[in-house]
Structure 1
Amino acid sequence: MINGPPSDRGGRALAVPRPPTAPKLMNRNSLGPYRIEKRLAAGGMAEVFVAHREGPHGFQKRVALKRILPQHARDPEFVGMFIDEARLAARLAHPGIVQVFDFGEHGGSLFMAMEMVEGTTVGRLLRTVASHRETVPLGAALHVAHEAAAALAYAHTLRDESGHPLNIVHRDVSPANLLLDRQGHAKLTDFGIARCRTTAQRTDDGHIRGKLGYMSPEQVVGDEVDAKSDVFTLGVVLAEMLVAEPLFGTGADLDVLLQIRNVDLTVLRRAGGHIPKDVTRLLQWCFERDPEKRPTARQLSYALREVLARRGELGRGPQELARLMER
């Protein structure tokens, strides 16, 4: 919670965007210039619709339309975070990151129009393979991790117009936030709790942010996080694709947090006997408790590409994923 006006670490007052006016009842079929087709998903801060924008001469663009939830439309913290997400996402131009095309306000509700990724998520893929008592094939899993690592490497090293590092940390790398298109390519989405040099004040409030089971040890204990935190959580996603079960268990919240803090890899040791040694070494590198000892996202991307090449899997991952998604 914010008690009084927020300030930076030097005690200077920070400008918080004025919340929109109370949201009016949204036209069920439209939001601004976009026509709503259906509701796709909802989270703690926003909901997402499938929508399209029409133009002259039969022009039509299908998008994923993300709208801040009505109950949060007048909350300065949520409004500020939503605006920060849109501003940050607008800077990101990479094939492995979901693009943002538009940002606006309609009837008191803020929204952003994003690239519509036709396909599934790594989370749904994991549920599918687990239901068949299978795991994601090695080549497909390494391909997803390689593309995600390349996307993170781009974000982590992005600079502003003056050449200064933005110091972006996603902080929510998880199966739900890795989309898979129908061609078998991975795209990172949802920078809603991302931290960067220009927005850190809104998310450094002492709260643990991230999804349970997909946090780094430093996140769990409330320490400062940097780009190496994203590398740890991407390692978690890769490991879970290879064992088809939660890496840190499904127990009580506190038990899961303690396992993350202690980097308890019991599940990986028990269920990962089939994982090749070179891949196991990569995972162990990602899971170093000391962030300084972990690879950067770029180093991880290069290492994954080398493993794929050695195994003759380079370029085969997309087709394998596409076949899996046809189930």
Structure 2
Amino acid sequence: MSDLSGHTIDGKYHLVEIAGEGGMATVYRGVVRGAAGFQRAIAVKHIRPEFRALKNYIDMFIEEARVGSELAHPNIVQVHDFCAENGSYYLVMEWVDGIDLGGFIKTYRDSSRDVPWALAVAVGIGTLRGLGAAHDRVAPDGTPSPVIHRDVSPHNVLLGVNGVVKLSDFGLARARDRASSLTAPGTVKGKLSYLAPEVSFGKPNTVQSDLFGVGSILYETLSGERVFDGKTDVEIFKKIRACQIPPINTRRPDVPASLVAVLETALAADPANRYATADEFAHALGQIMKLAVGINANSALAAAVVDARARASAGTADHLSTTDHRTNPSTSVDVVFSKADLDVEPIPLTKRSSPSSPVDSGVMTEPAIKHPPKK
């Protein structure tokens, strides 16, 4: 791999160091320099050399720039510029100082702690606000032109040290104003464990499949476990089709009953039984947040992100993420299924044993956020 740290792109974007690597791109932490000593932190995404000759990947990268430039929202990582130099493309984006949701979940799992449900709800609301802006996109002529993300997963949700949640990586997004799809026939776009059931049957991605993705990451934030996981891709694929998901309170009895119900709706096997819009889903979570009396969700999330970064830094820097794309390449590649794969029979998820405690009635018996004891 060629490290471009130290290079300056387009005369003003200085690449400082590699911040992360994805399946098709490398992201650099950089600075943009201007007059009178002005400078600002940026993230610069550069398509990897081995993909430069592949038109489909170049087209997806250009599409990411096009889509991102039209989505101005505080809960979406902003695209500032798109440059070409020496046969390579560079996507210049907002720098997010924080950690991705995947790393955040891992710090809790590694220390045998549960993410407080109020924080999980706050992450869900922020993600849905950004996703809703993409779904509500309007074309220049005023006609609705929604953008379907198609890759809602923990590594594409960034949590800032200021408590702001930002949805990132629209590299697989599809805007309705594009007549042709960039997806090859027989290819399912996205990370396998986060696919909606209908997509595994060959149906197109929709608003509802994106919302299933939000439900999936919210469930994972609370439980520390993926909704669909297995030893092989085929095993995961069968579980996705079966879509038998234990209620979250079998893993987290402290979760309010209303949140259990919201997740059951979001993760319904039939898209028609899910929320109609991101706004409707976010409103339902907002009602649940009212149960977290006396908690400032933004401040609490900011403090938790700072703590998670410190814990990750003390363990291994590999789980820190402050940029747009910090995904394990093995999980971000296209999932290609043959007809034989698509014909496999679904298998049920392994049933978790129910806790001995009674099902939560909605009355909080545990605080929404547990603070560590003072040393």
Per the shorter chain, which TM-score range?
Answer: 0.7 to 0.9
**Cα distance in 2 for residues equivalent to 1:251 and 1:265:** 18
Letter in 2 for 1:201: S
Letter in 2 for 1:236: S
**Cα distance in 1 for residues equivalent to 2:26 and 2:200:** 27
What's the offset of the Cα at 1:32? 2.7
Indicate conservation of the 8 Å contact 1:247/1:267, yes or no.
no
What aligned pairs does 1:113-132 form with structure 2 within 5 A after superposition? 113-132=92-111
Aligned with 1:311: secondary structure? coil
**Cα distance in 2 for residues equivalent to 1:90 and 1:165:** 17
**Cα distance in 2 for residues equivalent to 1:62 and 1:255:** 42
5+ unaligned residues in a row in structure 2: which ranges?
308-375
What aligned pairs does 1:224-239 form with structure 2 within 5 A after superposition? 224-239=204-219
Residue 308 in structure 1 maps to residue 289 in structure 2: yes
Q: Report what 2:360 is aligned to.
A: none
**Cα distance in 1 for residues equivalent to 2:250 and 2:288:** 23
What's the offset of the Cα at 1:230? 0.7
Letter in 1 for 2:139: D
- Please list the CA deviations of residues 246-295 of structure 1 after superposition, one character each: whole Å capped at 9, or x if unmatched: 22234321111211111121484642333221000000000111112210
Match of 2:116 among 137, 151, 165: 137
The runs of at least 4 aligned residues of structure 1 exceeding 4 Å deviation read 24-28
- Please list the CA deviations of residues 41-67 of structure 1 after superposition, one character each: whole Å capped at 9, or x if unmatched: 111221100011111100112100001
Indicate conservation of the 8 Å contact 1:134/1:244, yes or no.
no
Letter in 1 for 2:201: V
Indicate conservation of the 8 Å contact 2:46/2:91, yes or no.
yes
**Cα distance in 1 for residues equivalent to 2:265 and 2:281:** 9
Q: Report what 2:52 is aligned to.
A: 73
Residue 256 in structure 1 maps to residue 256 in structure 2: no
Letter in 2 for 1:260: I
**Cα distance in 1 for residues equivalent to 2:252 and 2:232:** 23
Residue 209 in structure 1 maps to residue 189 in structure 2: yes
RMSD (Å) for aligned C-alpha atoms: 1.8
What's the offset of the Cα at 1:203? 2.5
5+ unaligned residues in a row in structure 1: which ranges?
1-23
Q: Report what 1:17 is aligned to.
A: none
**Cα distance in 2 for residues equivalent to 1:268 and 1:232:** 15
**Cα distance in 2 for residues equivalent to 1:29 and 1:276:** 51
Residue 297 in structure 1 maps to residue 278 in structure 2: yes
What aligned pairs does 1:75-94 form with structure 2 within 5 A after superposition? 75-94=54-73
What aligned pairs does 1:93-242 form with structure 2 within 5 A after superposition? 93-199=72-178, 200-203=180-183, 205-242=185-222
- Please list the CA deviations of residues 146-171 of structure 1 after superposition, one character each: whole Å capped at 9, or x if unmatched: 11111111111111011112121101
**Cα distance in 2 for residues equivalent to 1:85 and 1:130:** 32
Indicate conservation of the 8 Å contact 1:146/1:301, yes or no.
yes
Q: Report what 2:42 is aligned to.
A: 63
Aligned with 1:203: secondary structure? coil
Q: Report what 2:258 is aligned to.
A: 278
Q: Which has the higher contact order (CA 8 A, sep 6+)?
A: 2
What's the offset of the Cα at 1:307? 1.0
Residue 31 in structure 1 maps to residue 21 in structure 2: no
Q: Out of 193-202 and 92-101, give the one that drifted further.
A: 193-202
Indicate conservation of the 8 Å contact 1:100/1:113, yes or no.
yes
Q: Report what 2:267 is aligned to.
A: 287
Indicate conservation of the 8 Å contact 1:25/1:107, yes or no.
no
Residue 318 in structure 1 maps to residue 318 in structure 2: no
Letter in 2 for 1:311: A
Indicate conservation of the 8 Å contact 2:247/2:264, yes or no.
no
What's the offset of the Cα at 1:202? 1.0
**Cα distance in 2 for residues equivalent to 1:149 and 1:205:** 29
Residue 48 in structure 1 maps to residue 32 in structure 2: no
TM-score (normalised: structure 2): 0.77
The count of aligned residue pairs is 303
